[in-house]
Amino acid sequence: MEIVVAGRHTEVPEKFRDHVKEKLAKIEQLAPSAQRIDVEVSHERNPRQAGIAERVEITVVDKGPVIRAEASADDRYGALDLAIAKLQERLRRSRDRRKDHRQHTPLTPVDVRPPAPAEEPPAPAALGDVAETTLGDSPVVIRQKVHAAHPMTVDDALYEMELVGHDFFLFVDVETAQPSVAYRRHGWNYGVIKLDSPVAIRAVTG
């Protein structure tokens, strides 16, 4: 299993890289099929954020859904420990869910095809690529990333949202083929917003 450690707007010393790899070596027990673990370390320069200045984000790239955890603290080692604790809990949840799903019949896959555009659109960014652009002459920076998507149920979307630790999750509804977003409200309450977009759905019968 490959472990990649990178710094975002900060330097990551070799000593910390070795520490990360040593700590994450145990993760393989919870994710034996994991292909790679990406670790991003960033530093908040704002002195008002000194208590959470160091941020660590860990992403497990597996055959199944992406599992991610992040945490912030006043030092990198503390942020790493917090992120690993979250990651272990989500990996255990994913493992338990896979066991439960073996007893259920899989959903019928669908083929979601948007209408052909009138003009040739610009080439999309490659999967996993991150691009940062500024909004005109303003200091606003927009970070864009392309993810692979496949139709899923609302239940699966909420499950994957919890695995990455986000407050929202974009997905394509397997029943309606509508682009949708699930989001967290309060406690264990969630909401789902769907776009009424003209797309063609064709069930794959095999």
Give the three-class secondary structure for 119: coil
> CA nearest 147: which of 164, 167, 135, 122?
164
Lowest mean pLDDT among 55-64, 95-104, 132-141: 95-104
Residues 114 and 173 in one domain: yes
Residues 88 and 153 in one domain: no
pLDDT attached to residue 102: 59
Q: What is the mean pLDDT of the chain?
A: 80
Does residue 137 surpass a pLDDT of 90?
Answer: no
> Which residues, in sequence order, are CB contacts of 36 under 8 Å at separation 6+?
1, 2, 3, 4, 60, 61
pLDDT attached to residue 41: 95
Give the three-class secondary structure for 136: coil
Q: Which of 79, 101, 123 is the last residue of a domain?
A: 101
In tens, the pLDDT along 174-183 reads 988 889 999 9
Q: Is 90:163 a contact under the CB 8 Å cutoff?
A: yes
In tens, the pLDDT along 42-52 reads 998 877 777 78
Give the domain CATH number at 32.
3.30.160.100
Query: In whole angstroms, what is the distance from residue 167 CA to residue 170 CA?
Result: 11
Mean pLDDT across 150-169: 86
Residues 85 and 123 in one domain: no
Q: pTM above the 0.85 mark? A: no
pLDDT attached to residue 125: 52
Residues 53 and 125 in one domain: no
> Which residues, in sequence order, are CB contacts of 156 under 8 Å at separation 6+?
171
Burial 124-142 (b: 16+ CB within 10 A, else e): eeeeeeeeeeeeeeeeeee
Amino acid at 185: R
Residues 96 and 171 in one domain: no
Give the domain CATH number at 144.
3.30.505.50
Q: Which residue has the tokens 């682009």?
A: 179
pLDDT attached to residue 205: 40
Q: How many folded domains does the chain comprise?
A: 2
pLDDT attached to residue 201: 47
Query: In whole angstroms, what is the distance from residue 3 CA to residue 29 CA?
Result: 15
Q: Which of 81, 101, 121 is the last residue of a domain?
A: 101
Residue 30: give the domain boundaries: 2-101
Q: Which of 48, 71, 101 is the last residue of a domain?
A: 101
Residues 11 and 89 in one domain: yes
Does residue 54 surpass a pLDDT of 90?
Answer: yes
